Amino acid sequence: MSTTRIAGTGLTRFGVHEGRSGRDLFAEAGLAALADAGISPEAIEEVYYGNFIGELAEEQGHQGPLMADAIGVAAPTRRLEGACASSGLAVRDAVRAIEAGQTDVAVVGGMERLTNMGTTAVTGGLATAADAVYEGQAGVTFPGAYALMARAYIEAYGGSKTDLAHIAVKNHANAAANPDAHYQHEITVEEALEAPIVASPLGLYDACPISDGAAALVLVSERFAESHGLEAPTAITGSGAGSDRLALQDRASMTYTPATESAATEAYAAAGITSQDVDLAEVHDCFTIAEVLALESLGFIERGEGMGLARDGVTTRGGRLPVNLSGGLKAKGHPVGATGAAQVVAVARLLAGTHPNASAVPNARVGLAHNAGGTVATATVHIVEVIE
């Protein structure tokens, strides 16, 4: 089985890209990844591309060939859709193809263009990732769904809005030094607590922004890296995926996400590690409560004990397990189809020492990227390690 090496990474800035098309955004990220790898488009054997609501946002389906063409690649390509986990699934498929020896070099990434739709249309579009009959017809949107999860968690285990505010403060502080982040300013706990309520108990600073952006990686087999003399200091050593019932009312629990646990279990086993070996993590924090649920389901902390980690400094830079040093979805931004790939980009750059916040983890060797779709009906986990 071939190890999957990360040969190149590329990102656009996440935020508002008025007047730019989706193909333009992906071209920027994809071409940057190819340049970083030092690989020509002609060498690419496959393209794996994640996107969620291109039909609604740009009236554009069948985006795979379009995006391959935008980066000058003439190779088999496919679009993967798993709501907010779309490009996490794309990374997983590319890794599995390389591990199986079916391909040696691939571009993998994703893109979403959302801000042109306006808040109301985006909220409605994103809500299509929920159960249209049993949630959508009742008016459930994702702020409301995650608010229900937060209320259930606080009722079961305790915690407060202040604990959630510390998560937002941490991630804004991390994004402040990240030039690719949507929000590059810090906030205080008081500002987070005084922000308008979106869906109780979640306020404005508990929610990620609506963002445009794209992310891409060039992944290669170990054989390809060695034969071409590529500088590829990091590798994806473990990949996992999991699923759960789509509608919240069909779940066994609203305070735990078994899709994440399943994905993590598979990824840890493939990499030959446990959660205790992870030095840093990028987790799916579309809302602050989502970071809590992720950290528990990933096995970093026992159930019911994750709410105070940011408050106690465990997950801050300099803490035992720095989480979302990129700023996370909360402050880096969340262009849905790009998020999973962007998380892997961030982990790779942090481990390689090329991320703006890499100085916070100078000795890190193992990182984790966790991507989730909807209310975590879909999840992927990738382990990234420094290769000796």
Among candidate residues 253, 212, 187, 213, the one with its CA nearest the CA of residue 116:
212
One of 84, 208, 370, 382 is an active-site residue; which one?
84
In our burial notation (b when 16+ CB lie closer than 10 A, e otherwise), range 25-42 reads bbbbbbbbbbebbebebe
- How many CB atoms neighbour CB 208 within 10 A? 27
Three-state DSSP class for 305?
coil
Question: Is 84 noted as a catalytic residue in this protein?
Answer: yes
Alpha-carbon gap, residue 12 to 237, rounded angstroms: 26
One of 17, 182, 284, 334 is an active-site residue; which one?
334
175 touches 334 (CB < 8 A): no
Alpha-carbon gap, residue 317 to 280, rounded angstroms: 10
Interaxial angle between packed helices 86-99 and 339-352, expressed in degrees from 0 to 180 and rounded to the nearest 10: 60
Instruction: Give the tokens for residue 335.
Output: 């262009």
Among candidate residues 44, 98, 37, 96, the one with its CA nearest the CA of residue 70:
44
Three-state DSSP class for 93?
helix
Active site residues: 84, 334
